[in-house]
Structure 1
Amino acid sequence: MTDQSVRIKICGLQDAPTALAAAKAGADAIGLVFAPSRRRVTPERAREICQALPPLVTRVGVFVDSPADEVRQIADFCGLDSIQLHGQESPGYCRQLSLRCIKAIPARDRVTLERANDYPVSAILVDTFIPGSIGGSGQTFHWQLLEGLSLKAPLILAGGLHPGNVGRAVALVRPYGVDVSSGVEVNGQKDRVLMKAFIQRVREVCVGAAG
C-alpha cells in the first residue's frame, strides 16, 4: 500500500466552498446527491460545485432508480465523471446507461454481495443494509461479511464510517476506496475539521501498512 492507495470520497456535498475544502483536505472524489434526501442538490447547484472543483477531483452523481435519459442529461449538464446507483437498478440498466458507474450493494447477506458480480460497472460500493433506507444511515455493518469475497470490480466501503473507525476498517477490509457522508457532519452539515481528520486517518493507516 502507498499513501494514495485507498481512494476517499466525501458524499453529500451541497455547496462549492465545502466541496473545495474537501478537495483541499485530500479527497479524491466528491458525491452530489440527486435522489430524495436532505442532502439533495439541484442540477444547477451541482454544476456550480463541479465547475469550482480542481480538475483531478472526481465528480460523482448519486441517483436512485432514475430514468436513464434523465441521468445522462444531468451527467452531461453538470460535468459528472461517474454515476453512483443506489436503487434497484439492474445490470441491464447499467449497460444501457453507457456511463462510468458505481453500483451500491446492501450488505444484507453473502448471496446479495456475490450477485454484485452481475453488474458491468467500474466499482461496487458496499453499504449497510437498513430496510427502507438508501444509504447515509450512519450505521456500520459487520465487515467480516466481506472476508474472502471475490469481486470483479474494485470495492468501495461505506456505511457508518467516521474518523474514529475508518482506520480499523481500512486495515481489515483493504478496500479500493472508502465513502463517508454523515460521519463527517455536525448537526447535519459537513464539518471541515472532521473531513480533514477522516482523510488524514486513512492516509496514516495506508502509510503504516506500506512500511
Structure 2
Amino acid sequence: MKVKICGITDLTTAIAAVDYGADAVGFVFAESKRKISVIKAKDIITHLPKEVLKVGVFVNESKEKIEEIASEAGLTHVQLHGDETPAFSQSLSFPIIKAVGIHDNQSLKQLESYPCEYVLLDGPKGKFRGGNGLSFDWNCISPHDLKEKKVILAGGLDEENVEEAIKLIQPYMVDVSSGVETDGKKDLNKIQTFINKAKGSQTGGTRNEFIYTAE
C-alpha cells in the first residue's frame, strides 16, 4: 500500500514522512492554509529521494504558470483540483492526477475518459477545493469502474479509519493531509502511525490498480 502525505510546508516534516515510508509528498500552490512558495518547495524537493513522487496541487491555474512552477520546483506530477477540462489536462507536459469531489457513483462518470493516469476521489468542497478533512460515503461508489485509472481516494482519512477505508475501497495509495495534523500543523507521530496502519493493512499479493488518498 502506497501513501502520499499532502500539504507539506517544511523540510523536517518532508524528510520524516519519507523516512516513515511515504511514497509521495504533496505541495499546495493553490489558495490554502498550506500554500507553499515555489522557492521553499524547490528547497525541500532537492533533499528528497528521486523515487519519491513530488506532487504539486493546483486549482484552475493557467497552463503557463503550472508548467513554470512544476519545472522550477522539480515536481514529478501535477494534481488538478479545479474545473480543468480534459483538453487542458492533455496539454500539460507532466503526469496528471485529476481530483474530483465525490457525491455518488455518478461523480466517477466524468473521469472515465479523462486523459490522466491517476484520479483522486476527494470529499465535498469546503472553504478550499481540498484538504478540508471531509469524507464521503465510501459505500456510494464503485471505484473499480475506473479500470484504466489509478485511483487516489481522499477526504477525511486519519489513523483511526484508514484501515477500514483500505479494506472497503482496496486502493493503490492513500493520501492524507489534515488527518495527520494537530492544531493545524503536521504531527510527526500521527504521520508515522498513519503510514504504519496503511501499509500494514494489506500483506503482499497482487497490487491493486487504485490509489487511496486522505486529504
TM-score range, shorter chain: over 0.9
Q: Displacement of 1:148 after TM fit?
A: 5.9
1:199 to 189, 195, 198: 195
Distance 2:106 2:141 in 1: 11
Moved more, 185-194 or 131-140: 131-140
Q: Which amino acid aligns with 1:199?
A: I
Distance 1:148 1:79 in 2: 31
Query: Alpha carbons of 1:38 and 1:170: their partners in 2 closer, same or farther (altered >3 Å)?
Result: same
Q: Displacement of 1:178 after TM fit?
A: 1.1
Q: Displacement of 1:137 after TM fit?
A: 1.2
Q: Displacement of 1:131 after TM fit?
A: 5.5
Unaligned runs of 5+ in 1: 1-5
| Structure 2 SS opposite 1:207 | coil
Q: Displacement of 1:122 after TM fit?
A: 1.4
Q: Which amino acid aligns with 1:172?
A: L
User: How do 1:1-211 and structure 2 match up within 5 A?
Assistant: 6-130=1-125, 133-147=128-142, 149-151=144-146, 152-207=148-203
Query: Alpha carbons of 1:124 and 1:82: their partners in 2 closer, same or farther (altered >3 Å)?
Result: same
Q: Displacement of 1:109 after TM fit?
A: 2.5
Distance 2:126 2:91 in 1: 28
* Moved >3 Å (runs of 4+): none
Identity of aligned residues (%): 40
Q: Displacement of 1:14 after TM fit?
A: 0.2
TM-score by length of 2: 0.91
Unaligned runs of 5+ in 2: 207-215
Q: Displacement of 1:25 after TM fit?
A: 0.4
Contact 1:114–1:149 under 8 Å retained in 2: no
